[in-house]
Structure 1
Amino acid sequence: MATVLTALVFLILGLFLAGGGIWLAAIGGSFYYVIVGLGFLLTAWLLFRRSGAALWVFALVLIGTLAWAIWEVGLDWWQLGPRGGVVVLLALWLLTPWVRRRLSASGGVIPLAAGVLAALIAAGASMTIDPLDIAGELPTDKVAATPDLGGGDVPAGEWHFYGRTQYGQRYSPLDQITPENVAKLTPAWTFQTGDVRTSADVPETTYQVTPLKIGDTLYICTPHNWAIAIDAATGKEKWRFDPKIAEDSDRQHQTCRGVSYYNDTKVAAGQPCALRIYLPTSDARLIALDAANGQVCPGFAEGGTLNLMTNMPYPKSGYYYSTSAPLIAGGKIIVGGAVNDNYSTEEPSGVIRAYDADTGALVWNWDSGNPDSTTPIGPGEEYTHNSPNMWSTASADEKLGLVYVPLGNQTPDQLGAGRSENVEKFSSSITALDLNTGQMRWVRQTVHHDLWDMDVPAQPSLVDITTDKGVVPGLVGPTKQGDIYVLDRRTGEPIIPVTEVPAPGGAIEGDHTSPTQPVSGLTFMPPPLTGKSMWGITMFDQLACRIEFQNLRYEGRYTPPSLQGSLIYPGNFGTFNWGGVAVDPVRQVMFGMPTYLAFKSTLVPRDQVPPPDGGRGSEQGLNRNEGAPYAVVMGPFLSPLGIPCQSPPWGYVAGADLRTGKIAYKHRNGTVYDMTPLPLPFKVGVPGIGGPMITAGGVAFLGAAVDDYLRAYDVTTGRQLWETRLPAGGQSTPMTYTVADGRQFVVIVAGGHGSVGTKPGDYVMAYTLPK
């Protein structure tokens, strides 16, 4: 009976492999699955006949599979395992007495056992090496004796801006925590906000805030835009403010990445609203709060609140709001906003506005649709609709009088027909504006004619860089496509060279592609995908991924969207996203978390778009693009089992020398502990969204990965030094500070990410070294 059942299993598996293999081969893929499928079918036939030749045949299948797998991927365990795991397990089953003894002859035992032994040896060897790991060290010399840490006069033990200073370095000069003692970090306190995700929330409800620390107080916001002040030493609540945000199913994002702090020197110290916290809300308000007690500051704007929908075209509820912290620089609040990607062609403007931080009066507005006129527009006038926007945070150099704006793409992101000259110029760029007037000083575009939603997603980091020509005021701009632009922030000219390379053509009728695209000399751009890159837990879902890969249009980076369905890699999730990178201004190095996840993009003609079915909260799935000739279906490239079709690693930690543009190391980051039904601590290298923070002590801190951990790394080598389990997803950026007794704390918010699917929560977690 065992032999018959075994033969039946081989028959079913053989039919699947042979049938799928013929399909794959017919569309240009590997012939391996046809061959191995026939081997399974022949083995099944021989088992039905109780012939010992079945062992010989399957020994050939096993040895051939091993040779093919090593030829395709080398000794990479995470790619070898899915290719050969099922075959090895079936070979072991055939060697069991209750199968082998029922065969007419068993002369194939030795070759089959030898094949199993060879496979186990290859597996053992592959587990000891990582052919994709880049091992190296960043330079440790202190290049800058007196580094410029950014404006704002931020004390060493505080964190006044989203990126700590106006420079957005995400670097702290604190050095109490070091590679030698970081493993001794213990919980100091835990605070729960009470703002938890509900079933009424849109899918993209996320907790991404980086706290500020001013004096003895932390200031945070929550996904529903509560502002809360917390004692930095004890974690006790001081005050909270609820702006009463209404639910809105048309809102694409429900998040708050940070509040802004301002010291109003025109108000006497200790008086109400001398120190202010500015709270952006998801219903397009900016509210000024007294940092001492959370009361609204009535002298700011209209009763303490700016209405960011003023002068906006198409002022539809839920279509425009601020998800990121405004930047305070030069006595001004620099405000951008998020628009709902791919909802409609009738979107609000991406205008950048500067308001007087004392009064809330509009000082200037830079509208990329009308870039030369920055004088505040009057009542009844409107900004250019549907223009490239800044949904992230700006950075500024007050000494140069410049503010640096990371711009997104015009929606619909995948359709470029009819874009204006200004959209073509400013879309997906880093643009420098005069801090006092808003006039454009320079623009550096990172994607030409963007059809892929490759917004510049992160705050540029400003750091002075030592070159052969002396010290140059630099700017480090990470991008979704993996390029790190290292520019002279005075002019926008590259410090590390940028070249133009040929790009795929063949856009849909009426559209076009750029013949070339820029590539920075410092890039984390992944190699192009091939059939060999396809992955699965088993050979069966890997076969399904290979078939889909062959059926998609893919010609490398910047393959245009299509009716057929195009593979976009890196996908619009980004190699880097809003978390950006952290830079050390002393050593002039950077630390980041490149992520690799392919997406699919399929255009849908308007007459084939189904009618609306209610709320629209997510960027994945059907994006309707109302008013455009095509909708688009987008989402990650996943197997039938819901895991990425491309082989891991999907996430790394990496370090690069900003003086040379050389990548020193890349190591797999994160485990599948929270990605699988069983909590398996396999360090595959998983995706993440969030940002890093580094310290003068030589330690980098990062949550972000889709397993729920906060980790510490050696900045020099990238090797993990410490980790702690978080009670929810850590898709935020940690920060650090000191308290009155001198102890250094590290804080991260753990609340999960709606569309990524990590565990929701409402936690603020603080860690410190034992006294």
Structure 2
Amino acid sequence: MLVFLTALVFLLLGFVLAAGGAWLLTLGGSPFYLFAGIMMIITSFLLYRRKASALAVHGVLIVVALVWAIYEVGFDWWQLAPRGGLLIVLGLWLLLPPIRRHLRSSANPAPDRGATAWPLALPVVAAIAVAGYAMLQDPRDLSGELPAARVEKAAFGGNVPDEEWHQYGRTPYGQRFSPLTDITPDNVGSLQVAWQYQTGDVKKPEDVGETTYQVTPLKVGDTLYLCTPHNWAIAIDATTGKEKWKFDPNVGLNPDRQHQTCRGVTYYRSPEATEGSPCAERVYLPTSDARLIALDAGTGKICEGFADRGVLHLNQGMKYNPAGYYYSTSPPVAAAGKLIIGGAVNDNYSTKEQSGVIRAFDIETGALVWNWDSGNPDQTAPLPPGQTYTTNSPNAWSVLSADEALGMVYVPLGNQVPDQLGMGRSENVEKFSSSVVALDLNTGMLKWVRQFVHHDLWDMDVPAQPVLFDMRKQDGTTVPAIVAPTKQGDIYVLDRRSGEPIIPYKEIPAPGGAIPEDRTAPTQPISDLTFSPPALRERDMWGLSLIDQMMCRIAYHSYRYDGRYTPPSLQGTIVYPGNFGTFNWGSVAIDPERQVMFGMPTYLAFTSRLVPAAEMPEKGKGEKGSEQGLNRNEGAPYGVYMGPFLSPLGIPCQAPPWGYVAGVDLTTGKIVYKHRNGTVYDMTPLPLPFRVGVPGIGGPMITRGGVAFLGAAVDNYLRAYDLTTGRVLWESRLPAGGQATPMTYRASDGKQYVVMVAGGHGSVGTKPGDYVIAYRLP
């Protein structure tokens, strides 16, 4: 009976592989799966006949599979495993005595006693030996050491004491760099939890899918200021973690909001106010119902002298104003006596949405000082009554940076919605989409623009806060620089005075073949400093077994894919890098003294498929309006289905690693190291600690002590890395997803603390929570 059941398993697997392999072969794919299916069917037949030659046939299949796998992927264990794992397990099963003793050879009708096992045993042993060798290799790893020499008098931006953290990236430069040195590679392994605070703001069943906790707290004096996904503002004691005050703006729930999150608040101290006077120190809170609220930093009470009794309504001046379609998920930048803020516009909901206008308000009064609307870029004076901003113009949903000395604010811009449809875009949209623009801090007038995607059809908006630092070039000169990470993986390093490249970039040919109503740009830029991955090939498809890997190969050939910037299609298109981007809002961290960068490049392919409006299902039938599912694009000729490129088992179709940590020497423009980051501990039913290199979303932080900190990965850990080598020095299990950016400070007890928020991320499915956790050395 056992042999019969084994024969049945081989028969079923063989038919699946043969049928799928034949389909794959008709698409121009590998013939191996058809061959494997036929061999398994033959093995099944021989097992049914109790023939010992079944062992030899399966041995031949293992040998062929081994040669084929090494030819395709070399000694990459994570790629070899799905190609041979199932076959080796089946081979070991066939070698078990309960199977072999029922088999007979044609030369000897007596039951097999082991003499005929070697044609299978040798291939199995060879395959296991190759697997063992491959486990000790990592062909995807790049090792190296960042330089340790420091430049003198590096600029951090802003007047922020070393022990504090005043803006989202610590200063208006957005470096995510702390000058503190207490924590070092030698002692970071001793970090332990100092205190833990729970906000009480937890994800609700009726919340939108992308309810996420992405905040980086600020530290001023001995107080931390933060916000929560439902836009509560909270002040807690930096030394003890005790709550000082809490403010709930009562934003309510709206199913039309694409995001329910808050990345941070903005702190301001008035130079004119007397010590202890009300609202001398303020915290500005952006909300998901399009308000900006001024709060007294000491009490949490509304500062009624600001705007309309303490509340600035950001939906002013919009031609269309559907509730839930516009809000600011990121804190405004405070510079030159102004609050400068953009706004998130729902992706792909409608052609009649709010404007992506950038506005500067007087930080004391809330009066509008200037507005820069990319659809009307020359009119920066406040709009007169009755005039409205340009509908659906490219927006800035991420964090802005500022250089008060140069008098400029730097704005990362997205795309005009619908993201995948480029018909009818204006000249200004074509000029400003997917770019960084530099605006005059005092007037809002355009200083320069540098575009990173032409005629963007892939939602490749510039997602990250640009980072400012003064770059020491190899010839010894210093240039004020701006570093702009992009979704497609390019790192653009520009002179922030003019936008001219410091590290060169070039234009390369891009795929054509857009839908008849649209067009594509003939070329696209690519930086000499890039984390953009090579184009996917069929052999890059992955799976937990031969079968789901085969299905991914079939899917690969079923979509349209001509490499980076393959245009959207009715057939369906692979988008790689995908919509989450190689870099996202977490940006990168820069040590301005060592002139090095630390970041977390992520690789996850997406797919998109255009749907004619006439074929759109009824409203309410499964649309998501986000990175996954149906985006309706009301008023446009097409909607779009999109989401990660996944196997039938729900894992990425492309082979790992899906996430790295990386170090860059900015002086040379070279990537020095790149290591797999994160495990599948929280991605599988069993808590397996395999360091595959997993996706993540969030940002890094580095210190003068030579340590980098990063959560972000989907395995719910906060990790410390040696900045010089990128190797993990310490890790701490988080009680929920850590998709935020850590920060550090020195408290009143003289200790350096590292703080991480753990609350999960709706889009990547990590565990929700409401934790704020502080670590310090004992």
Q: Fold conserved (TM > 0.5)?
A: yes
Amino acid at match of 1:604: V
Asked if structure 2 preserves the Cα contact closer than 8 Å seen for 1:207 and 1:751, the reply is: yes
The aligned counterpart of 1:40 is 40
Q: C-alpha distance in 1, partners of 2:631/2:758?
A: 29
Q: Please, which of 522, 526, 534 is the counterpart of residue 527 of structure 1?
A: 534
Cα deviation, residue 25, structure 1: 0.5
Cα deviation, residue 53, structure 1: 1.0
Q: C-alpha distance in 2, partners of 1:531/1:617?
A: 30
The aligned counterpart of 2:560 is 553
- 2:269 aligned with 1:263: yes
SS of aligned partner of 1:655 = strand
Map 1:566-581 → 2, pairs under 5 A? 566-581=573-588
The aligned counterpart of 2:99 is 99
Q: C-alpha distance in 2, partners of 1:533/1:53?
A: 34
Q: Please, which of 211, 233, 238 is the counterpart of residue 217 of structure 2?
A: 211
The aligned counterpart of 1:640 is 648
- 2:20 aligned with 1:20: yes
The aligned counterpart of 1:277 is 283
Cα deviation, residue 617, structure 1: 5.7
Q: Please, which of 544, 560, 585 is the counterpart of residue 537 of structure 1?
A: 544
Q: Which digits, 9 at most, give the CA deviation of each residue in 1:268-326, with x for residues without a partner?
A: 12110000000000000000000000010011001001000011121110010000011
Cα deviation, residue 616, structure 1: 4.6
Q: Please, which of 590, 593, 598 is the counterpart of residue 586 of structure 1?
A: 593
Q: C-alpha distance in 1, partners of 2:232/2:325?
A: 20
RMSD, aligned α-carbons = 0.8
Amino acid at match of 1:391: W
- 2:771 aligned with 1:769: no
Q: Which digits, 9 at most, give the CA deviation of each residue in 1:680-703, with x for residues without a partner?
A: 111000000000000000000000
Q: Please, which of 282, 287, 294 is the counterpart of residue 288 of structure 1?
A: 294
What TM-score results when the alignment is normalised by the length of structure 1? 0.99
Greater CA deviation, 102-111 or 63-72? 102-111
Q: C-alpha distance in 1, partners of 2:116/2:312?
A: 81
SS of aligned partner of 2:730 = strand
Q: C-alpha distance in 2, partners of 1:668/1:188?
A: 29
Amino acid at match of 2:239: A
Amino acid at match of 2:656: P
The aligned counterpart of 2:324 is 318
Map 1:179-258 → 2, pairs under 5 A? 179-258=185-264
- 2:92 aligned with 1:76: no
- 2:419 aligned with 1:420: no
The aligned counterpart of 1:747 is 755
Asked if structure 1 preserves the Cα contact closer than 8 Å seen for 2:349 and 2:633, the reply is: yes
Amino acid at match of 2:19: G
The size of the alignment, in residue pairs, is 768
Q: C-alpha distance in 2, partners of 1:200/1:47?
A: 55
Asked if structure 2 preserves the Cα contact closer than 8 Å seen for 1:249 and 1:616, the reply is: no
Structure 1 residues 697 and 543: CA distance shift in structure 2, 3 A: same
Q: C-alpha distance in 1, partners of 2:515/2:162?
A: 54
Cα deviation, residue 104, structure 1: 1.1
Asked if structure 2 preserves the Cα contact closer than 8 Å seen for 1:257 and 1:324, the reply is: yes
Asked if structure 1 preserves the Cα contact closer than 8 Å seen for 2:625 and 2:632, the reply is: no
The aligned counterpart of 1:738 is 746
- 2:725 aligned with 1:717: yes
The aligned counterpart of 2:393 is 387
Amino acid at match of 1:508: I
Greater CA deviation, 519-528 or 605-614? 605-614
Q: Please, which of 687, 692, 700 is the counterpart of residue 692 of structure 1?
A: 700
Q: Which digits, 9 at most, give the CA deviation of each residue in 1:102-153, with x for residues without a partner?
A: 11125541121110110111011011110100011111111x21100012x1
Asked if structure 2 preserves the Cα contact closer than 8 Å seen for 1:251 and 1:617, the reply is: no
Q: Which digits, 9 at most, give the CA deviation of each residue in 1:351-397, with x for residues without a partner?
A: 00000001000000000000011000022210000000000011000
Greater CA deviation, 107-116 or 554-563? 107-116
Cα deviation, residue 265, structure 1: 1.4
The aligned counterpart of 2:479 is 472
Amino acid at match of 1:498: Y
Cα deviation, residue 101, structure 1: 1.1
SS of aligned partner of 1:590 = strand
Asked if structure 2 preserves the Cα contact closer than 8 Å seen for 1:448 and 1:514, the reply is: yes
The aligned counterpart of 1:136 is 144
In the alignment, structure 2 segments of 5+ residues that lack a partner are 106-111
Amino acid at match of 2:145: E
What TM-score results when the alignment is normalised by the length of structure 2? 0.98
Asked if structure 1 preserves the Cα contact closer than 8 Å seen for 2:239 and 2:749, the reply is: no
Amino acid at match of 2:651: I
Q: C-alpha distance in 1, partners of 2:57/2:399?
A: 62
SS of aligned partner of 2:25 = helix
Q: Which digits, 9 at most, give the CA deviation of each residue in 1:446-474, with x for residues without a partner?
A: 10000000010010000111112610000
SS of aligned partner of 2:673 = strand
The aligned counterpart of 1:756 is 764
The aligned counterpart of 1:371 is 377
Asked if structure 2 preserves the Cα contact closer than 8 Å seen for 1:94 and 1:100, the reply is: yes
Q: C-alpha distance in 1, partners of 2:287/2:46?
A: 69
The aligned counterpart of 2:30 is 30
- 2:440 aligned with 1:434: yes
Q: C-alpha distance in 2, partners of 1:585/1:469?
A: 15
Map 1:142-157 → 2, pairs under 5 A? 142=150, 144-151=151-158, 153-157=159-163
Q: C-alpha distance in 1, partners of 2:156/2:65?
A: 56
Q: Please, which of 501, 505, 509 is the counterpart of residue 512 of structure 2?
A: 505
Amino acid at match of 2:43: T
Amino acid at match of 2:325: Y
Cα deviation, residue 77, structure 1: 0.9
Q: C-alpha distance in 1, partners of 2:539/2:505?
A: 30
Q: Which digits, 9 at most, give the CA deviation of each residue in 1:696-715, with x for residues without a partner?
A: 00000000000010000001
Q: Which digits, 9 at most, give the CA deviation of each residue in 1:505-543, with x for residues without a partner?
A: 000011000000000110000011001000001111101
The aligned counterpart of 2:108 is none
The aligned counterpart of 2:674 is 666
Asked if structure 2 preserves the Cα contact closer than 8 Å seen for 1:251 and 1:616, the reply is: no
Map 1:343-358 → 2, pairs under 5 A? 343-358=349-364
Asked if structure 2 preserves the Cα contact closer than 8 Å seen for 1:553 and 1:567, the reply is: yes
Q: Which digits, 9 at most, give the CA deviation of each residue in 1:205-248, with x for residues without a partner?
A: 00000000000000000000000000000000000100011210
Q: C-alpha distance in 1, partners of 2:284/2:659?
A: 34
- 2:61 aligned with 1:54: no
Asked if structure 2 preserves the Cα contact closer than 8 Å seen for 1:416 and 1:512, the reply is: yes
Q: Please, which of 430, 440, 443 is the counterpart of residue 449 of structure 2?
A: 443
In the alignment, structure 1 segments of 5+ residues that lack a partner are none
Map 1:646-657 → 2, pairs under 5 A? 646-657=654-665
Asked if structure 2 preserves the Cα contact closer than 8 Å seen for 1:203 and 1:618, the reply is: no
- 2:523 aligned with 1:516: yes
Q: Which digits, 9 at most, give the CA deviation of each residue in 1:587-611, with x for residues without a partner?
A: 1110000000000000000110001
Asked if structure 1 preserves the Cα contact closer than 8 Å seen for 2:349 and 2:625, the reply is: no
Asked if structure 2 preserves the Cα contact closer than 8 Å seen for 1:651 and 1:688, the reply is: yes
Q: Which digits, 9 at most, give the CA deviation of each residue in 1:610-649, with x for residues without a partner?
A: 0111785643100000000000000000000000000000
The aligned counterpart of 2:122 is 114
Amino acid at match of 1:738: R
Q: C-alpha distance in 1, partners of 2:638/2:482?
A: 37
Asked if structure 2 preserves the Cα contact closer than 8 Å seen for 1:253 and 1:617, the reply is: no
